[in-house]
Copies of this chain bind each other. A is one copy, B any other.
Amino acid sequence: LMCASAEATIREGKPCKRIVLHYHDIIFNGTNKENATSAISANATALGKFKFGQLVIFDDPLTEDQNLLSPPVARAQGLYFYDMKSTYNAWFSCTLIFNSTQHTGTINMMGADMMDSETRDLSVVGGTGDFFMTRGIATFTTDTFQGAAYFRLKMDIKLYECY
């Protein structure tokens, strides 16, 4: 039998906690050091025309509304890479870091970012601090995409396991 002595709630229909954030990624192009929040760590390969194999490492601000200039409420640190030869498609793994009066702690997530889908679900696989041991789903929506310079994602984080 499973014995559980921490407070946890698992409820598929209704998350025990829900946080909606906007993720802003400004790719370093060699001249935008001040503004850039991510950089290409490994270049795209010649397999197709959709950056297959390009690996990007980021330290991106997360805001409550869509405005890039709003004060960040958290940061996302991690990586994504492009992984299809027929379309733009990515894979993410990152940590959301909260250090505010509202939340302290981290949320760890990973999964496929199928950019052709209007929404796509990734897995929240763990957390620390206020998010101790949490699990759930992060639903990504592309807010906007400006070529290779900037994109913004909506991350709708639904936690179903809370302690």
Contact = CB atoms under 8 A, between A and B. Distances in A.
Interface of A: 1-13, 28, 30, 33, 36, 39-42, 45-48, 52-55, 57-59, 77-79, 81-85, 89, 91, 93-95, 97, 105-106, 108, 110-112, 114, 121-129, 132-133, 135-137, 160-161, 163
A1 B11 contact: no
Contacts of A160: 6, 133
Given A5-B2, A110-B110, A57 B58 contact: no
Given A6-B11, A41-B81, A79-B81, A111 B108 contact: yes
Given A12-B6, A97-B114, A128 B136 contact: no
A3 B85 CA distance: 42
Nearest to A95: B112
B7 A11 contact: no
Nearest to A46: B30
B128 A122 contact: yes
A42 B45 contact: no
A1 B12 CA distance: 10
